[in-house]
Amino acid sequence: MKSRNRFGGMALLSRETLPLVAWALLATASFLPTLAQETLNEIERLDAAFDALLARDAKIQVLAKGFTWTEGPVWVPNKSGGYLLFSDIPRNSVFKWKAGEGVSLFLCPSGYTGNTFYGREPGCNGLLLDPQGRLVSCEHGDRRISVLTANGGKRTLVDNYQGKRLNSPNDAVYKSNGDLYFTDPPYGLPQGWDDPRRELDFCGVYRLAKDGRLTLLTTEMTRPNGIGFAPDEKTLYVAQSDPKAAMIKAFEVLDDGTLGKSRILFDATSWVATRPGLPDGMAVDQEGHLWATAPGGVAVLTPQGELLGRLNTGQRTANCTFGEDGRTLFITADAHLCRIRTNMTGAN
């Protein structure tokens, strides 16, 4: 999702007047996240069925704050219990959170490796693990999807469609057969849709097959953003972060992996005028509920699109993912990293 026009206490400085290296130092070395013990706003229960998903005493806990614009959380399991990685797009960085240790810098640069200023959102956005457990990044500045190799360095998975550079890959999800589905809005381009560097005349949803073939699946969404599969992989959910049509669509997944008919699963356009943010990233639990970011926080939906409740962060809320034992929902909300315990287990 497009971030707000601010840079964590640095907004009075002109990025165009400083070398890229200087900005990297400002973005990382001087950054000290604040560990927090507070909670954010309230839980809104709109249906009795919501009580089965979330305990009555559940709280949105702030783990850390002081970031610029947090995005793309992914849980990385390991023998020591695992850790969370998440993007700070304007800082061109990926940070790591681990229980008992707090936040540390994991990767910089994360999404732009050029030698000139590249707008306000140069870093990576969505993060995920490939079937081998390697970190895959949707990179704004370098306009590609990459994989971090085990022995160091990155490899490009895809950076163009029919020879034309992608806009700025935003979010992605793997199907169980190894195919990668991803969205490509223009938010990472320095001037967005009006940027002269844009080479495609649409914002697409794509499939990168495990054999390397790239297929354009649909161009019907104006600003495709967050993406996720239903547990049976027969439905693909795609969020649209267009303030004039802020919604989540559900696409039929055909036997050959392409997309069939779509339907509007949930329309949040009426929320835009009164609640901060837009539909963005999402997580799906094993029973098929969508935990989808929306204006003001996270909307919890049934597979049929019925709104059961809302996790009201009061912030522009970018993304969420399940982690730890599978029942903790981590939330990236503007300058905050949060979590909440649920009664559901993440589907992936």
pLDDT tens, residue by residue, 66-94: 999 999 999 999 988 899 999 999 999 99
Q: How high does pLDDT run on average in the chain? A: 91
In a domain, 241, yes or no: yes
In a domain, 93, yes or no: yes
Number of structural domains (the chain) is 1
In a domain, 87, yes or no: yes
In a domain, 317, yes or no: yes
Q: Which residues contact 287 (CB under 8 A, 6 or more apart)?
A: 231, 344
Give the CATH number of the domain where residue 306 resides: 2.120.10.30
pLDDT of residue 15 exceeding 70: no
In a domain, 2, yes or no: no
In a domain, 11, yes or no: no
The pLDDT-based confidence of 168 (bands split at 50, 70, 90) is very high
User: Which of 37-46, 194-203, 232-241, 306-315 shows the lowest per-residue confidence on average (mean pLDDT)?
Assistant: 37-46
State how far the Cα of 318 lies from the Cα of 65, in Å rounded to an integer: 14
> What average pLDDT does the segment 106-133 reach?
96
156 vs 39, higher pLDDT: 156
pLDDT of residue 265 exceeding 80: yes
- Per-residue pLDDT, 40: 74
- Per-residue pLDDT, 35: 60
- Give the domain extent around 298: 35-341
pLDDT tens, residue by residue, 278-294: 999 999 999 999 999 99
Q: Are 304 and 290 in contact (CB under 8 A)?
A: no
In a domain, 27, yes or no: no
In a domain, 58, yes or no: yes
In what side-by-side order are the strands of the sheet with 70-76? 70-76, 83-88, 93-98, 102-107
- Per-residue pLDDT, 9: 33
